[in-house]
Amino acid sequence: MNKSIIALALSLSLSLASAAVALDNSKLVGTWQLVENAKDADGNNSPFVTEKLQFTSDGKMISANMPMPFRYKVNPDKAEIDRALARFPDLKGMEIMLAMVGNSPNDWSRPNIVYGVELKDNKFTMKLSGYTPARYKKLK
């Protein structure tokens, strides 16, 4: 009985610890190549996804489809996450990344774009509400 309780407590601790791991911004920095485009409900490619995406260490996201770099924020606070998920509940279960046009006011409570993201090794997934996830691989 005691061994079962200890095993259960250990597995619960490990699952909570892995859920609490924040997105590592330093691993996001670099150039990413699209391997799977996002699609809408009709199967059309998303016009918001680019072939290459670059993240800089100073918090900029650069894409050929964007007129200027966006500023991005990973690991938003709980209030920012709650607001984002209230607007876009289909992003629940993913890390939240906020993005704003380069010259927007510094108010992360009202970002221009909210993404659901996942980063694992050299694979990066970005999801916009209403589309399937876009998947990228890291080039450098």
Spatial contact of 53 and 63, defined as CB atoms under 8 Å apart = yes
Question: Minimal CA–CA distance to 61: which of 112, 121, 20?
Answer: 112
Whether 85 is covered by a domain: the verdict is yes
Looking at residue 104, what is its pLDDT? 67
**pLDDT(44) > 50:** yes
Task: State the residue for tokens 């699609």.
Answer: 39
Looking at residue 119, what is its pLDDT? 94
- Between 15 and 40, the higher pLDDT residue: 40
Spatial contact of 40 and 133, defined as CB atoms under 8 Å apart = no
Helical ranges in the chain per DSSP H: 2-19, 25-28, 78-87
Q: In the numeric block, which tokens belong to residue 2? A: 């005691």
Whether 27 is covered by a domain: the verdict is yes
Return left, alpha or beta for 139; rule: phi > 0 is left, psi -120 to 50 is alpha, else beta: alpha
CATH number at residue 116: 2.40.128
Whole-prediction pTM: 0.78
> Of 20-34, 99-113, 115-129, which one has max mean pLDDT?
115-129
Whether 106 is covered by a domain: the verdict is yes
Average the pLDDT over 31-42 and give the result: 96
Q: What is the pLDDT of residues 49-104, one digit of tens each?
A: 999 999 999 999 998 888 788 899 999 999 999 999 999 999 999 999 999 987 76
| Domain coverage including residue 124 | 23-138
